[in-house]
Amino acid sequence: MSAKSKAAFVVLAASDAHESLGRVVNALMGALEYVESGDPVQVVFDGAGTQAAAALAQPAHKYHKLLEKVWQAMFVWLPWSMRGPGLDSSLVNIRLSI
């Protein structure tokens, strides 16, 4: 039996600028590769990354489907710091609806 690779992606970037959104999407695409290969992976949204998670949680967002693919098959950690106004409810809703 071969050992599985393990990975964690930490998203600290918001998605408000083109470069920042690119960082978020790169992390999710990397995580998706692990998911598709059956290897364990975690994604951590912290700092400004919590804003990116909230933005991608909106069904109208261009990369919402990517977030769903990753979210369904892996553990996504969202810190308690997300209890700020407007952030926790949208992410709780997507977590429960998927």
Q: Does the pLDDT of residue 1 top 70, yes or no?
A: no
Closest residue by Cα to residue 83 from 91, 75, 73: 91
pTM of the model: 0.73
pLDDT at 49: 85
Q: Which of 1-10, 19-28, 83-92 has the highest mean pLDDT?
A: 19-28
Given CA atoms 75, 5, 50, 19 in this order, what sign does their dihedral have? Answer: negative
Domain range list for the chain: 7-97
